[in-house]
Chains A and B, each alone.
Chain A
Amino acid sequence: KQEVTQIPAALSVPEGENLVLNCSFTDSAIYNLQWFRQDPGKGLTSLLLIQSSQREQTSGRLNASLDKSSGRSTLYIAASQPGDSATYLCAAPDTGRRALTFGSGTRLQVQP
Chain B
Amino acid sequence: NAGVTQTPKFRVLKTGQSMTLLCAQDMNHEYMYWYRQDPGMGLRLIHYSVGEGTTAKGEVPDGYNVSRLKKQNFLLGLESAAPSQTSVYFCASSLAGTSGELFFGEGSRLTVL
Q: How large is the interface on A (under 10, 10 to 19, 20 to 34, 35 or more residues)?
A: 20 to 34
The segment from B41-49, B66-74, B78-86 found at the interface with A is: B41-49
Which residues of chain A have C-beta atoms less than 8 A from B40's C-beta? 104
Interface of A is mostly: strand
Query: Measured between C-beta atoms, what is the minimum distance from B66 to chain A in Å?
Result: 13
Known A43-B90, A104-B41; contact A91-B105, beta-carbon cutoff 8 A: no
Q: How many angstroms between the C-alpha atoms of A100 and B35 in the bound complex?
A: 10
Known A98-B56, A99-B58; contact A43-B41, beta-carbon cutoff 8 A: no
Which residues of chain A have C-beta atoms less than 8 A from B26's C-beta? none
Which residues of chain A have C-beta atoms less than 8 A from B100's C-beta? 49
Which residues of chain B have C-beta atoms less than 8 A from A54's C-beta? none
Q: Which residue of A lies closest to B39 (CB)?
A: A104
The 8 closest A-B pairs by CB, nearest first: A43-B104, A93-B98, A104-B42, A102-B43, A44-B104, A43-B106, A46-B101, A102-B42
